[in-house]
Amino acid sequence: MKFPDALKHLRPADRRDILELQTRIEAFRAGREDEERFKHYRLTRGVYGQRQLGVQMFRTKIPYGRLTARQLVRLADISERYTNGNLHLTTRQNVQLHFVRLEDSPKVWTELADAGLTAREACGNTVRNITASPAAGIDPEEPFDVSPYVQASFEYFLRNPICQEMGRKIKPAFSSSERDSAFTYFHDFGFIPRFQSGKRGFKVVIGGGLGAVGAVAQTVHEFLEEERIIPFMEACIRVFDRYGEREKRMKARMKFLIKDLGLEGFLELVKEEWPSLKHQTYPIDTTLAETPEIPAPPDEGAQPADEARYQVWKAANTFGQKQPGYVAVNIKLPLGNIHAREARELARAVEKFAADDIRITVQQGFLLRFVHPRALPALFNELDRLGLAQAGANSIADITACPGTDTCALGVTNSTGLAAVLEGLILGEFEHLIEESDIRVKISGCMNSCGQHMAAQIGFHGSSLRLGTRILPAMQVVLGGGVSPNGDGFIAEKVIKLPTKRIPEAVRLLLLDFEQRKQPGQLFNEYFQQQGKRYFYGLLKPLADLDGIQDEEFFDWGQGHEYFQSIGVGECAGVSLDVVGTIIEETRQKLSLAEEALQEQAFADSIYHAYTAFVVGAKALLLAKDVKCNTQAGILEDFQEHYVKAGEPELPLEDFKAHVLEMKKTEPGAEFAGRYLSQAQQFFKAVLAIRTRQLQASNGQDKTVIENYYKA
């Protein structure tokens, strides 16, 4: 395949992304681009470094996890052509490919784009994949299908200049009903559909999150009209971009900004942004997620190859849709992995038995839709032949786990090996709980919660314990997370840290205790709240006794050597060093983008690029004076203090901050966009003049600045 020829039929935006990635890779390989700056760039293009040197994890961005059969086949083809043939489904309803060579990533993206997929903003400090209840559109309890709203939001924020270089990522989610099966309560933005006076709208929650410090999202609107949700998100993101923390990465999420400002203070800033928005209202095209063609039901139903197993599978893995006469089928994928061979066969089964509308679930599985009951036995036989007919999807036996130390540089312990052991324990000793829909087990290889352990009734995250000079692989046990039947969300509580080889016994103790002592009809989280954290600490405390520790306990699950801790640096941390001259050049690039957007009459985009040019130019000069740059708002204030008040002749301004922030008080029309860009260009000339004088004073020596000084 000739790479340039393959781009000819792609959309212009895709061509531009792919060619830019190719150019940047070539510049990096030739030594013309700093490694850390290149890393910051490639993350926003879905290219993330693995634990293994020389290869990358390549992440796609699939809004609400929706795939067609053709797209699934394309992913399978790519995985065999450029990787190890495995597709890994994530809790963010994405597909990840591992062991991709950096040089192959533009080719991977080209083949994705040809199938209508993208990797743009799949990683990095951007608006990440927008997730939704996998049953959206078929949920018997939903007021309406949220799928078009997710698609519209995805399209609106993709490549949007307001969210390309934020301090940290933003994660939105849409639930199909009040039950909150999309876990909106731990997202930056959460939307739950409602009707009010016959009109569509959403309950809106903001500022949730998992990670080391969990936070339940706060309700800001009990009902927000459907045409106002995208403008509301945009206004919030603008506030986050301007005021959000950038120096301390662990404090850079929106939940911390809301805590610092207070919810009312944050919302007041959001209100101030409203005049500058691209759209005051944004009507949603509800045809963005139309139901595809559904295969005709078979004239006669087939017979299941194994009647007993079929009945268990049918009871555990299927449910009736809101559309009469159709059922949906959950497919359990252990650890979220499926090989390309099975993926292709599954795509063929979908074309034969279901709608061409596959959904990736937050449990790392697939959901097939619009299956006629008469087709169920034949579909079961086909899935069984592929090894995809395991009962217990979305049950206690369907354990969620991130890749952990298999591929992730941040992994502390092996979550996948432990997940396999726990699944064997549950199927061997607690098989009767397969149809128990209340308890979920989730494992993360570190505290960052990619496995969503803080949203589990029983969760674990990777850690370690020191015993003399040796280190034990360990897991922090967390209990009581998840969603209640009425839709209330809970963040799990830390209970105790245990050696990882003792976790199966811990799970055994927890389940036996629950079954023996719970009240009739009592759910696990109700029992946890009744007994209290101290009770469970006491229950598990004997397992924390390290007297008589065995040598085998110094080996992590699935590892053939004694455990040693090897934790890398999270790539989303961004750039770590630079020179002032490079940052000034970035200002020039922002102005170029602003001019291009103005020519395309994308006035709001032009204004925001010009605003960013003001900020970056001011940042460069502040760094030249060793002034730390944390938030964009702080940069505007510090520039006033260190340059404007100092009487720089090139800066005939009285109030730099007010001058720059005129953009948030003005409707983004042609006249203002042109004037604002002209002002930014004049400011850039002043920056160049000031920096020239500074370099003359330092004998032409540019200044290197370190990570903590310039992330804003």
87-130: per-residue pLDDT in tens?
Answer: 999 999 999 999 999 999 999 999 999 999 999 999 999 999 99
Q: In this predicted structure, what is the pLDDT of residue 477?
A: 95
Q: How many structural domains comprise the chain?
A: 5
Q: Name which of 103, 241, 225 is nearest 167 in CA terms.
A: 241
Across the range 231-254, mean pLDDT stands at 92
Of 571, 605, 632, which one is at a domain's C-terminal end? 571
Mean pLDDT of the chain: 91
Q: In this predicted structure, what is the pLDDT of residue 200?
A: 97
The least confident of 29-43, 134-148, 505-519, 618-632 is: 29-43
Q: In this predicted structure, what is the pLDDT of residue 2?
A: 57
The least confident of 144-158, 352-366, 400-414 is: 400-414
| Residue 212 reports pLDDT greater than 80 | no
Full-prediction pTM beyond 0.85?
yes
| Residue 14 reports pLDDT greater than 50 | yes
Q: In this predicted structure, what is the pLDDT of residue 708?
A: 44
For 316-353, how does the pLDDT look when each residue is reduced to its tens digit (9 = 90+)? 999 999 999 999 999 999 999 999 999 999 999 999 99
| Residue 241 reports pLDDT greater than 90 | yes
Indicate the SS3 state at residue 161: helix
Residue 531 lies in a domain: yes
Q: How many CB atoms lie within 10 A of CB 156?
A: 18
For 274-294, how does the pLDDT look when each residue is reduced to its tens digit (9 = 90+)? 999 999 999 999 988 777 888
Same domain, 175 and 320: no
| Residue 712 reports pLDDT greater than 90 | no
Same domain, 254 and 330: no
Same domain, 372 and 449: no
Q: In this predicted structure, what is the pLDDT of residue 573?
A: 43
Q: In this predicted structure, what is the pLDDT of residue 565?
A: 64
Same domain, 105 and 141: no
| Residue 169 reports pLDDT greater than 60 | yes
Residue 123 lies in a domain: no
For 553-579, b where at least 16 C-beta lie within 10 A, e where not — what string?
bbbbbeeeeebeeebeeebbbbbbebe
Residue 295 lies in a domain: no
Angle between helices 229-243 and 147-157 (to 10 degrees): 40
pLDDT-derived band at 511, boundaries 50, 70, 90: very high
pLDDT-derived band at 387, boundaries 50, 70, 90: very high
Residue 670 lies in a domain: yes
Q: In this predicted structure, what is the pLDDT of residue 406?
A: 64
Alpha-carbon distance 262 to 100, whole Å? 43
DSSP letter for each residue of 640-653:
IIIIITTT-TT---
Of 263, 289, 315, which one is at a domain's C-terminal end? 289
Same domain, 599 and 488: no
Across the range 164-185, mean pLDDT stands at 94
Same domain, 241 and 315: no
| Residue 558 reports pLDDT greater than 90 | no
Residue 273 lies in a domain: yes
Across the range 256-281, mean pLDDT stands at 96
Q: In this predicted structure, what is the pLDDT of residue 581?
A: 83
Same domain, 623 and 547: no
pLDDT-derived band at 506, boundaries 50, 70, 90: very high
Q: In this predicted structure, what is the pLDDT of residue 246?
A: 86
Same domain, 165 and 273: yes
Q: In this predicted structure, what is the pLDDT of residue 575?
A: 38
Same domain, 252 and 352: no
Same domain, 356 and 425: no
Across the range 482-494, mean pLDDT stands at 89
Q: In this predicted structure, what is the pLDDT of residue 226?
A: 97
| Residue 79 reports pLDDT greater than 50 | yes
Look up the domain containing 561 and give its range.
400-571
Q: In this predicted structure, what is the pLDDT of residue 405?
A: 67
| Residue 567 reports pLDDT greater than 70 | no
Across the range 471-482, mean pLDDT stands at 91
Across the range 295-321, mean pLDDT stands at 91
Same domain, 147 and 266: yes
Q: In this predicted structure, what is the pLDDT of residue 467?
A: 87
Of 385, 415, 444, which one is at a domain's C-terminal end? 385
Residue 50 lies in a domain: yes
Across the range 225-250, mean pLDDT stands at 94
Alpha-carbon distance 301 to 299, whole Å? 7
Residue 18 lies in a domain: yes
CATH of the domain at 148: 3.30.413.10
For 426-449, b where at least 16 C-beta lie within 10 A, e where not — what string?
bbeebeebbebebbbbbbbbbbbb
Percent of the chain with pLDDT over 90: 70
| Residue 54 reports pLDDT greater than 90 | no
| Residue 697 reports pLDDT greater than 80 | yes
Alpha-carbon distance 408 to 302, whole Å? 44
Residue 593 lies in a domain: yes
Q: Name which of 607, 615, 585 is nearest 688 in CA terms.
A: 585
| Residue 587 reports pLDDT greater than 70 | yes
Token pair of 460 as six digits: 């674990």
Across the range 655-668, mean pLDDT stands at 94
Across the range 601-619, mean pLDDT stands at 96
pLDDT-derived band at 437, boundaries 50, 70, 90: low
Same domain, 141 and 226: yes
CATH of the domain at 662: 1.20.120.330
